[in-house]
């Protein structure tokens, strides 16, 4: 830490001290909210880990970064279990690019704070009053939407014969729907699909946390002895329960192994249920009845099933049900399953094909994640 102490200390909003005892004393009396807490591996991290939950409750947007944890596997697991945000990439340690890394992290935190203030102003504004026309408000919305878009994939992912793609249509500039996917090693693909309660800035802030945990999950699944999907989802649930967001989220975490043709998934209260079509048959993937962020002790079970040579797996947020025919949710879900069975699963134009009529006036965010494998 000493080589970078000058760089870190020169950036506003970072609280960092070499010794753990000094850090605890400084944070106990800190008047302003830090953006980053950078903690080095070793005794400093061991001392600080029990305090993570208190810090996150006090400063919900703070980034807790682990420094120099590259060879400390046990401390890495303890760091994330306690609520740590991210690890400083080993290749950046001691490099000129480290300052850019700090600045990018600070910008992310400051954007979250601006969005929260914006949401508070809108909440306190009387209903009959004209909407705020401050240029800064419009800029905040535009910046927040841009940041959120960058948190999700910018293009489809193709692995062998499998194509993964998505679309998010937001009711407001900021969305509570979140999608992410990536390749894990040579033969596996990890995907996360979530629908955060509420609308606007508050829900969007939770998607930042989902983004961070997704990439933590991806790194862990590449370990020689990775944690199971249920352990990963339970960890995310504890983090949401301890955060000060006051939002919960339905979620599906899925791992596709193309070599073994298997699907592992763990779902938390997600509806409509994911729909798998293979061999001409529809399989509705069941979910736990409790979303993330409601009960810290909740356990989630992972499921595994075989995949055919060709299959379609589509996941929708509940906003996709609103414009479907049927006078009950069960009939709307059946209509959705029938559509998935007959449709190609190609993302381009999917909502137009589903709803027959295009309507930009959305009652809710609506999103879809598509995984299609063809021979």
Residues in the chain with pLDDT values less than 50: 1-13, 119-120, 122-133
Q: What is the pLDDT of residue 201?
A: 66
Q: Residue 186 and residue 188: Cα distance in Å, rounded?
A: 6
Q: What is the pLDDT of residue 338?
A: 94
For 222, residues 6+ apart whose C-beta sits below 8 A from its C-beta are 184, 185
pLDDT tens digits along 255-298: 999 999 999 999 999 999 999 999 999 999 988 889 998 888 89
**CATH code that applies to domain 2-107:** 3.40.50.2300
Q: Can you read off the two tokens belonging to residue 281? A: 């048959």
Q: What is the pLDDT of residue 144?
A: 60
Q: What is the pLDDT of residue 236?
A: 93
**Quick check: 198 and 225 in contact, CB under 8 A?**
no
Q: What are phi and psi of 321, to 5 degrees?
A: -85, -25
Distance of CA 251 to the CA centre of its chain: 9
Q: Residue 231 and residue 221: Cα distance in Å, rounded?
A: 11
pLDDT tens digits along 38-54: 888 777 788 888 888 77
Task: Specify which residues 252 forms β-bridges with.
Answer: 193, 267
For 54, residues 6+ apart whose C-beta sits below 8 A from its C-beta are none
**Domain-by-domain residue ranges, the chain?**
2-107, 157-373
Q: Can you read off the two tokens belonging to residue 256? A: 């596709």
SS (H, E, C) the chain: CHHHHHHHHCCCCEECCCCHHHHHHHHHCCCCCCCEEEEECCHHHHHHHHHHHHHHHHCCCCEEEEECCCCCHHHHHHHHHCCCCEECCHHHCCCCCHHHHHHHHHHHHHHHHHHHHHHHHHHHCCCCCCCCCCHHHHHHHHHHHHHHHHCCCCCCEEECCEEEEEEEECCCCCCCEEEEEEEECCCEEEEEEEEECCCHHHHHHHHHHHHHHHHHHHHHHCCCCCCCHHHHHHHHHHHHHHCCCCCCEEEEEEEEECCCCEEEEEEECCCCCCEEEECCEEEECCCECCCECCCCCCCCCEEEEECCCCEEEEEECHHHCCCCCCCCHHHHHHHHHHHHHHCCCCCCCHHHHHHCCCCCCCCCCEEEEEEEECC
Which of the listed CATH numbers 3.20.20.220, 3.40.50.2300, 3.60.40.10, 3.40.50.300 matches domain 157-373? 3.60.40.10
Q: What is the pLDDT of residue 115?
A: 60
Task: Specify which residues 167 forms β-bridges with.
Answer: 368
Q: Is the bond preceding residue 58 a cis peptide, omega within 30 degrees?
A: no
Q: What is the pLDDT of residue 123?
A: 39
C-beta neighbour count of 183 within 10 angstroms: 16
Q: Residue 316 and residue 369: Cα distance in Å, rounded?
A: 7
Q: Residue 83 and residue 250: Cα distance in Å, rounded?
A: 20
């Amino acid at each position: 830490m000493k080589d970078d102490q000058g760089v870190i200390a020169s950036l506003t909003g970072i609280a960092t001290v070499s010794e753990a005892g000094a850090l605890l004393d400084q944070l106990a009396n800190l008047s302003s909210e830090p953006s980053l807490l950078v903690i080095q591996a070793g005794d400093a991290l061991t001392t600080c880990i029990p305090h993570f939950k208190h810090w996150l409750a006090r400063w919900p947007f703070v980034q807790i970064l682990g420094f120099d944890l590259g060879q400390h596997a046990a401390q890495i697991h303890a760091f994330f279990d306690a609520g740590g945000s991210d690890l400083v990439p080993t290749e950046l340690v001691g490099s000129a690019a480290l300052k850019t890394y700090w600045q990018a992290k600070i910008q992310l935190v400051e954007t979250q704070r601006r969005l929260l203030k914006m949401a508070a102003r809108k909440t306190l504004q009387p209903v009959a009053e004209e909407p705020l026309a401050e240029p800064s408000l419009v800029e905040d919305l535009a910046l927040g939407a841009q940041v959120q878009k960058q948190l999700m994939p910018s293009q489809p992912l193709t692995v062998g014969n499998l194509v993964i793609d998505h679309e998010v249509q937001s009711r407001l500039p900021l969305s509570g729907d979140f999608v992410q996917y990536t390749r894990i090693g040579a033969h596996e693909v990890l995907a996360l699909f979530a629908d955060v309660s509420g609308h606007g800035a508050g829900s969007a802030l939770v998607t930042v946390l989902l983004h961070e945990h997704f990439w933590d999950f991806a790194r862990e699944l590449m370990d020689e002895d990775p944690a199971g999907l249920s352990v990963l989802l339970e960890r995310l649930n504890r983090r949401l329960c301890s955060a000060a967001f006051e939002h919960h989220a339905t979620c599906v975490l899925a791992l596709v192994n193309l070599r073994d043709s298997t699907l592992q998934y763990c779902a938390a209260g997600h509806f409509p249920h994911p729909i798998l079509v293979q061999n001409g048959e529809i399989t509705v993937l069941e979910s736990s009845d409790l979303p993330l962020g409601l009960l810290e002790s909740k356990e989630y079970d992972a499921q595994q099933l075989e995949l055919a040579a060709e299959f379609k797996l589509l996941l929708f947020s509940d906003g996709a049900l609103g414009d479907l025919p049927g006078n009950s949710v069960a009939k709307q879900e059946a209509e959705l399953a029938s559509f998935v069975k007959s449709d190609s699963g190609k993302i381009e134009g999917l909502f137009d094909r589903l709803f027959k009529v295009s309507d930009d006036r959305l009652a809710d965010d609506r999103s879809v994640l598509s995984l299609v494998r063809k021979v």
